[in-house]
Chain A
């Protein structure tokens, strides 16, 4: 069966510091991968998606970037965090079907 991992689970970072969040998927090959952010009390906002290694599509221009160095690894990064980057970051994968399955998420607080 497929599993999706994210780490860290919780992160507290100062404004202006860098960020690296990692997501890995097991039990499937060539998945579509997604990064979402959920601000408190709001819906999920798609940030990036990837259909293959090195292929990244950005949905929202901002100070975040994504990379897919391996088939089942998806990384979300920032060089300098802003207060507005606080939120719940979710990675998701989808296979041949359309259904997306979410990882456990990373709760980021920027102070």
Chain B
């Protein structure tokens, strides 16, 4: 079976940095995705890691360690619009999603 764990909630201040961790135990692995989901909306794609290391996209970065079954999403220079749920998803032959981490950005 698939087991994907993320913290339920995180709170941070505007302009700060937040790191969302994701650990996984899956029967197979073909990459890991991060999605952003605002309340009441569909998830939107943020990043995809298939090899170990850091992928940077503007204010957002994602890191993967396959040997540790671990990834994190780093959000820098937080803005109010970053308040959302962040979903970690592991690609086996299908995507298995974690329950998501709700990030609240305070002024």
Contact = CB atoms under 8 A, between A and B. Distances in A.
A104 B43 CA distance: 9
B87 A59 contact: no
Contact of A59 (B30, B35, B94, B97): B94
Contacts of A103: 42
B30 A102 contact: no
Question: Which of A49, A59, A90, A100 has the most chain B CB within a 10 Å cutoff?
Answer: A100
Interface in B33-77: 33, 35, 40-45, 48
Contacts of B99: 41-43
B91 interface: yes
A16 B31 CA distance: 40
Nearest to B91: A98
A49 B43 contact: no
A103 B42 CA distance: 7
Contacts of A34: 95
Interface residues of B, number: 22
B42 A99 contact: no
Given A46-B94, A49-B94, A102 B100 contact: no
A45 B94 CA distance: 11
Contacts of B91: 98
A41 B30 CA distance: 27
Nearest to A90: B42
Nearest to A44: B97
Contacts of B95: 34, 44, 46, 100
A101 interface: yes
Interface of A: 34, 41-46, 49, 59, 90, 98-105, 107
9 contacts: A43-B97, A44-B89, A45-B97, A90-B42, A100-B33, A100-B45, A100-B95, A102-B35, A105-B42
Interface of B: 4, 30-31, 33, 35, 40-45, 48, 87, 89, 91, 94-100
Given A42-B99, A44-B97, A45-B97, 6 more contacts: A43-B87, A46-B96, A90-B42, A98-B48, A102-B42, A102-B43
